[in-house]
Amino acid sequence: MRGFLTSSIGVASAAALTLPLALSSGAGAATTPSADRALTAQAISGSTQSLPLAVLPRDRGLRAPGEQGLTQRDVHPFSLVGVVWKDPALALEGSVQVRTRAMGTARWSGWQDVETHNSDHAPDPGTAEHDSGRVRGATAPLWVGASDGVEVRVRPQAAPAHRTAGSSANSANSAAQAPLPKGLRLELVDPGEEPPPAGEPVPGGAPAEAAGSGVLTAESAAASAVNADLAPLGADAIPALTKKETESELIEAGGGEADTKVRPYIGPRPRIVTRKGWGADEKLREPDFGYTSKVNAAFVHHSATGNNYKCSQAPSVIRGIYRYHVKSMGWRDIGYNFLVDKCGNIYEGRAGGVAKPVMGAHTLGFNTNSMGVAVLGTFGSSNPAAAAVDALARLTAWKLGLYGVNPSGKTYLTSAGGNLYPKGKSVRLNAISGHRDGFATECPGRRLYDKLGTARSTSASLQGR
């Protein structure tokens, strides 16, 4: 077991150098014309528009005092939207709503709510990522689909009014508005085009790279090499294994001996779409990987991006979240270790290796010795798909099993500081917990939180418990 977990970290550099792949390492790299075309096809486009918000005119009293936003305007195409501000320690006490215009039409959506309480998804205090000086406060991102027009309004929350005798209603209301954070900006994210499927022709006549072969950038090769024990370099997905195959793989990796804490308590390995499979632009993130020592618990989240996406769009949604986390919020990489869509597809999140204890930025105060899994969607009043809950069970049965953890059991984590537990406190938690168990938040939404008992029992059953 220990050998399995550590060996593939060590092979990352060697695999990137020895497997038969052409690497692009920047200026001076020698490539053939066909390789140039392949690299162009592989490159992931995408962009972020960052627009400062301003105080909106009162509009005959229809707007709240101090309301900020943007009036209707044309913008470059985008599909995901959020609002950020300068100080990550400040909460946005108010509401954020957006309207968007579907690209190439005159059709505007109704007003859509953007979840404002997002400070609970963050790097732990005291880490280099938290203290980088680049981190910003932010709402959750909202997926709106391809759009080229936007309008946004940010309304301060009305504090309890303490009116005195003789004061007017208008003056009392004006004085009761809670201030909004400084430096509010609207972030409009274009996740870029889908990478062409393996084998399909691309402009210029060169075939798109096949899974496990073709042309990779140095950054993409490094992100793929940390999974070299599980799939070929450059693979779009890590294949599923049966329970017996999973156990045999661990025995082989351990030199013929299996960790007695693991066997037979490990679930079959599920299929996992790699970062290359969903089209991660590896040049966005910081180049190194960060690890904790083990994985004792899984925190379940919802992405709060809304439920209006097709499963075929999930890679685009993930690329949008990735770009928002890195470029807009100032994180080193996407915050979640894994993501799950409504069809039950599982995606690799933060780079570093799916079998490894990668340090995420998903549950403020409890990122050490845990992993974060986000189900794409919003589940305060909507039920998660059964396929998504099943995927949670399959993923945790395998990943927690690698570390000898019973998914239906309890564990202890030490708080790094948050709004529920002070720094240094040892907290007893379910091995599969909701985000709200470690931080006072609505995440992962009441409807998804209510399904965690089912996920725990199914996960434990898959482990053979």
Question: Residue 195's pLDDT is what?
Answer: 64
Mean per-residue pLDDT over the chain, rounded = 83
What is residue 256's predicted lDDT score, i.e. its pLDDT? Answer: 54
Is the pLDDT assigned to residue 203 strictly greater than 70? no
Computed from CA positions of residues 274, 26, 190, 327, in that sequence, does the dihedral angle turn out positive or negative?
positive
Q: How far apart are CA 46 and CA 144, in angstroms?
A: 16
At residue 119, the pLDDT reads 60
Residue type, position 101, single letter: R
Domain count along the chain:
2
Answer whether residue 207 is part of any domain: no
- Is 316 in the same domain as 441? yes
Let me know how many helices (H) and strands (E) the chain has, helices first.
10, 19
67, 167: one domain: yes
pLDDT of residue 258: 54
Does residue 103 share a domain with residue 236?
no
Q: What is the Cα–Cα distance from 231 to 286, expressed in whole angstroms?
A: 23
Which 8-state DSSP code applies to residue 437? G
User: Do residues 138 and 230 both lie within one domain?
Assistant: no
Q: What is the pLDDT of residues 332-362, one digit of tens each?
A: 999 999 999 999 999 999 999 999 999 999 9
Alpha carbon distance 371, 189 (integer Å): 26
Give me the pLDDT at residue 374, please. 97
Question: Alpha-carbon distance 36 to 214, whole Å?
Answer: 12
Between 159-173, 233-247, 379-393, the lowest mean confidence (pLDDT) is in 159-173
Alpha carbon separation from 425 to 255, 417, 421, 432 (Å, rounded): 39, 8, 7, 19
Tell me how crowded residue 341 is: count the other CB atoms within 10 A of its CB: 26
Percent of the chain predicted with pLDDT > 70: 78
Token duo for residue 248: 């045999």
428 and 347 in a common domain: yes
Do strands 297-302 and 370-375 pair parallel, antiparallel, or not at all (unpaired)? parallel
What is the mean predicted confidence (pLDDT) over 376-402?
A: 97
364 touches 335 (CB < 8 A): no
- Predicted confidence at residue 205, as pLDDT, reads 40
Same domain assignment for residues 303 and 163: no
Ranges 39-48, 141-150, 358-367: which has the least confidence: 39-48
Structure confidence at residue 160 as a pLDDT band (50, 70, 90)? low
- Contact call for residues 247 and 268 (beta carbons, < 8 A): no
Q: What is the pLDDT of residue 260?
A: 55
- Can you tell me the mean pLDDT for 113-138? 82
Q: How far apart are CA 40 and CA 44, in angstroms?
A: 9
State the CATH number of the domain containing residue 318.
3.40.80.10
Query: Do 115 and 247 have their domain in common?
Result: no
Residues 182 and 277 in one domain: no
With b meaning 16 or more CB within 10 Å and e meaning fewer, what string describes 169-204? Answer: eeeeeeebbeebbeebbbbbbbbbeebeeeeeebee
pLDDT top residue among 23 and 284: 284
Beta strand spans in 91-170 (E): 94-102, 112-114, 137-138, 142-156
The answer to whether residue 195 sits within a structural domain is: no
| 10 belongs to a structural domain | no
Residue 109 sits in the same domain as residue 223: no
Give the model confidence (pLDDT) of 411-447 as tens digits.
Answer: 999 998 877 888 999 999 999 999 999 988 889 999 9
Of 47, 114, 108, nearest to 73 by C-alpha is 108
**CA 302/CA 107 separation, integer angstroms:** 29
Assess whether 238 and 168 both reside in one domain.
no
What mean pLDDT do residues 283-291 have? Answer: 95
Tens-digit pLDDT profile for residues 58-67: 775 677 788 9
User: Looking at residue 255, what is its pLDDT?
Assistant: 58
Asked which of 1-10, 150-159, 173-182, 287-296 is least confident by mean pLDDT, the reply is: 1-10
Name the β-bridge partners of 102. 147
Inform me whether the pLDDT recorded for 371 exceeds 80: yes
Question: What are the structure tokens assigned to 67, written together?
Answer: 């309301």
Residues 328 and 447 in one domain: yes
Task: Please tell me the total number of residues recorded for the chain in this structure.
Answer: 465
Torsion of CA 2, 291, 454, 310, to 10 degrees: -120
For 144, the domain range is: 47-190
Integer CA distances (angstroms), 34 to 30, 89, 274, in order: 12, 49, 25
| Residue 422, domain member (yes or no) | yes
User: What are φ and ψ of residue 301, in 5° steps?
Assistant: -130, 165
- Of 186-190, 195-199, 287-291, which range is least confident? 195-199
User: Which range is most confident: 94-103, 189-198, 433-442?
Assistant: 94-103
Are the beta carbons of 340 and 271 closer than 8 angstroms?
no
307, 373, 362: which is closest to 113 by C-alpha? 307
Question: Three-class SS of residue 430?
Answer: strand
Check pLDDT > 90 for residue 74.
yes
Q: Is the pLDDT score of 148 beyond 60?
A: yes
Residue 206 has pLDDT above 60, yes or no: no
- Closest-CA residue to 53 (of 76, 73, 27, 79): 73
3-state secondary structure (DSSP) of residue 391: helix
User: Is there a domain that residue 394 lies in?
Assistant: yes
- pLDDT tens digit string along 376-385? 999 999 999 9
Distance from the Cα of residue 103 to its chain's centroid? 25
pLDDT tens by residue, 243-271: 999 998 888 876 555 555 556 799 999 99
Please tell me whether residues 391 and 276 are part of one structural domain. Answer: yes
**Least confident span in 7-11, 212-216, 263-267:** 7-11
Partner residues linked to 117 by β-bridges: none
Q: Is residue 202 part of a domain?
A: no
Kindly state whether residue 173 falls inside one of the protein's structural domains: yes
Using DSSP, state whether 27 is helix, strand or coil: coil
Does the residue 34 lie in any domain? no
